[in-house]
Amino acid sequence: MRTTFRVNNTTHELSVDARVTLLDVLRDVLGLTGTKKGCDQGACGACTVIIDGQRVLSCLTLAATCEGREVVTIEGLATAGELHPMQAAFLHSDGFQCGYCTPGQILSAVCAVQEVHAGVPSHVTRDVRQPVDAATLTDEEIRERMSGNLCRCAAYPNIVAAVRQVLSCRDASTVARGGDVEVRV
Amino acid sequence: MNAFTFEQSAAAEDAARLVAARPGGMFLAGGTTLVDLMKVDVLAPDTVVSVRPLAISNIDVTDDAIVIGAGVTNSQLAWHPIVRDRYPVLSEAILSGATTQIRNMATVGGNILQRTRCPYFRDVQAACNRREPGTGCDALEGFNRGHAVLGVSDHCIATHPSDMCVALVILDAEIHSLRADGSTRSVPFPAFHLAPGDTPHLEVALAHGELITHVVIPHLPAARRSHYLKVRDRASYEFALASAAVVLDLDGETIRAVRLGLGGVATKPWRAIEAEHFMTGRTATDDTFRAAAEIALAGAVGREHNHFKIELAKRTIVRACADARDKEL
């Protein structure tokens, strides 16, 4: 079947089997191997991409359902050779060891920061009726919000540090602008 | 994964007709259950009809109700300011389940229809009356630590995995659906899911090709004092061993009305009506909650590995009720 969608600001018109996932299209058809296949069953988060401004799992997304949608992968994050602030923060904080989960971690973290700036609660938010405040966000909140991305090397403390670095960046608009990624909450 | 025909339509009637016309047809919403189970050959539809193009993804707030489209995502619902304010138990329940990525995909209709996480259901080599009627149940004498103690039968003890549904079952929600012939109907939430009995393969009160279009929750002022408590092996991203949803309507220290739902311990989203009746009119003490918990679990049947859930569920009820009582509004 035929389907047309955008990946990192480029339109792709594809002929795919209905069974094919977005993850396999990205890696095997478009050659965008930055998106990783970990468990392939929605458990590890390595395949996280941003579709229409929201972080989702590409391994559980059929390519056929992406018609007309806007996909951002790790390859689409840097602009003109300049790293996205979250990529720079992962480097600065040493937020990885083997690196396999890192693309998913970074895309997830980009969205997590925007969700916090939008004030939406998480499972560990004390009172869901109150908006959360980026300035006073606990490590427990960052961990909960990133719990969909597993790291078998257990680089978690440094991942939390990277997310916090971007969260506490005074100019939040820099983050929102980075890589022209529009995150929708 | 078996081959299938992919269809989509912008009209709900067409989507219902497309599925109804094929005995092996299924609706696809967020895909977090269906695509997963298709990969392990537990589900093998020959036709998959995507409901994504349907305009059923709005949350409409009226004076006396909140109307939630079946295509609304779990995140959209949990993060909605009116839901957080009026029904904190619903936001809390949703946010306690899965991860942001999955909640961004999973829909309200799909969450209601999600399948059990019983490992024997997910393993096509195992005996499972739910997946293949008449083959038996490997969970009865197997590794049944995660299995249900309420609403069980000799044919199936699979736990209903949803957190969201445990909140909806106590909020007087109604599930609205559309049949292939264009007619519509609504089912009260507690009547929607079916306990396994001797027909565990029949899970919900929907005909083949019948599409959930929206869920209506009536305005319930008491729900401002509500809470969802989930107990599990990990702090995040894990299914419940036991959970409790509570709406507590207090008149001073007296319980004017109470609603109590249980998750992680039952074969369907469970409402503990007898325990609610016991608490009504009594003082909101931990002793009252404990006595109510004994009533709620009176019919529980434990097996080799899940006996602990009976006491765990009782303690979960006491703490959930106490937390709701002590909430500052």
CB-based contact B35 A40, cutoff 8 Å: no
Nearest-CA neighbor of B32 among B93, B123, B106, B112?
A: B106
* pLDDT of the residue at A178: 43
Give the separation between CA B278 and CA B289, rounded to whole angstroms. 9
Q: Is A79 helix (H, G, I), strand (E, B) or coil?
A: strand
Share of chain B above pLDDT 70, in %: 100
pLDDT digits (tens, 9 = 90+) for B143-168: 999 999 999 999 999 999 999 999 99
Q: Provide the pLDDT for residue A184.
A: 78
| Contact residues on chain B for A128, CB-CB shorter than 8 A | 78, 84, 88, 91-92, 95
Distance, in Å, from the CA atom of B205 to the CA atom of B176, rounded to the nearest integer, reads 11
Q: Average pLDDT of A89-108?
A: 98
Measured distance CA(B99)–CA(A44) in Å, rounded: 10
Q: How far is C-alpha A2 from the geometric centre of its chain's CA atoms?
A: 27
Beta-sheet strands, E only, within B51-158:
59-61, 65-69
* Cα angle B161-B115-A128, degrees, rounded to a multiple of 5: 40
Distance in angstroms (rounded) separating the CA atoms of residues B128 and B139: 8
CA atoms of B178 and B184, how far apart (whole Å): 5
Cα–Cα distance, B113 to B135 (Å, whole number):
23
Interface touch A18/B84, C-beta < 8 Å: no
Residue with tokens 């018109």: A13
Closest Cβ opposite residue A56 in set B6, B38, B105: B105
Query: What are the φ/ψ torsions at residue B275 (nearest 5 degrees)?
Result: -65, -40
Of B36, B96, B100, the CB nearest to A42: B36
Domains and CATH numbers, chain A: 2-74 (3.10.20.30), 85-179 (1.10.150.120)
Rounded mean pLDDT of B49-62? Answer: 95
A25 has a pLDDT exceeding 60 = yes
Three-point CA angle B144, B146, B151, nearest 5°: 85
Architecture of domain B222-326: 2-Layer Sandwich (3.30)
Residue B290 is predicted with a pLDDT of 98
pLDDT at A175 exceeding the cut of 50: no
Helices (H), chain B: 12-20, 34-39, 74-79, 81-86, 88-95, 100-105, 108-112, 164-168, 189-192, 273-279, 286-296, 308-326
Q: Given a cut of 50, is residue A179 above it in pLDDT?
A: no
8-state DSSP, A29: I
Please provide residue B324's backbone torsions phi and psi, each rounded to the nearest 5 degrees. -65, -45
pLDDT level of residue B222 (50, 70, 90 thresholds): very high
| Binary contact (A57, B105; C-beta < 8 A) | yes
Q: CATH 3.30.390.50 occupies which residues in chain B?
A: 222-326
- Asked if the model's pLDDT at residue A169 lies above 90, the reply is no
pLDDT of residue A170: 58
Would you call B88 and A129 a contact, using CB atoms and an 8 Å cutoff?
yes
- Contact criterion met (CB < 8 Å) for B5 and A18: yes
Quick check: B38 and B122 in contact, CB under 8 A? no
Lowest mean pLDDT among A50-54, A132-136, B140-144, B322-326: A132-136
Q: If you measure CA to CA, which chain A residue comes closest to B76?
A: A185
Looking at residue A177, its pLDDT comes to 44
How many residues would you count in chain B? 329
Q: Where along chain B do the CATH 3.30.43 domains lie?
A: 5-50
pTM (2 decimals)?
0.97
Give the pLDDT of residue A176: 47
In the structure, what pLDDT confidence band is assigned to residue A81 with cuts at 50, 70 and 90? confident
SS3 B118: coil
Q: Is residue A40 scored above 70 in pLDDT? A: yes
Query: Using CA of residue B8, residue B11, residue B14, residue B18, what is the dihedral sign?
Result: positive
Q: Which of A24, A49, A56 to mutate to test the interface with B (most CBs of B within 10 A)?
A: A56
Cα Rg, chain A, nearest whole Å = 16
A17 CB neighbours in chain B (<8 A) are: 3
Q: pLDDT of B234-276, one tens digit each? A: 999 999 999 999 999 999 999 999 999 999 999 999 999 999 9
What average pLDDT does this structure show over A150-168? Answer: 97
The single-letter DSSP state of residue A135 is G
Residue B215 C-beta-side C-alpha neighbours within 13 Å: 28
Q: Would you place residue A180 in the very low, low, confident or very high pLDDT band (cuts 50, 70, 90)?
A: low
Domain B5-50 has CATH 3.30.420: no
Q: Work out the pLDDT band at A183, boundaries 50, 70, 90.
A: confident
What average pLDDT does chain B have?
98
Interface contact A61, partner B, CB < 8 A: yes
Contact by Cβ (8 Å): B186, B177: yes
pLDDT value at B43 more than 50: yes
Chain B nearest-CA distance from A155, in A, is 17
- What would the pLDDT profile of B92-123 be if each residue is shown by its tens digit? 999 999 999 999 999 999 999 999 999 999 99
Q: Are B42 and B84 in contact (CB under 8 A)?
A: no
Half-sphere exposure at residue B221, Cβ-oriented, CA atoms within 13 angstroms: 3
Q: Does A56 touch chain B (CB under 8 A)?
A: yes
Q: How far apart are CA A56 and CA A107, in angstroms?
A: 10
Neighboring chain B residues of A138 at a CB cutoff of 8 Å: none
pLDDT band at A21 (very low <50, low <70, confident <90, very high): very high
Residue B153: phi, psi to the nearest 5? -140, 175
Mean pLDDT value across residues A50-74: 98
pLDDT for residue B189 is more than 80: yes
Burial class (CB in 10 A: 0-12, 13-18, 19+), B301: middle
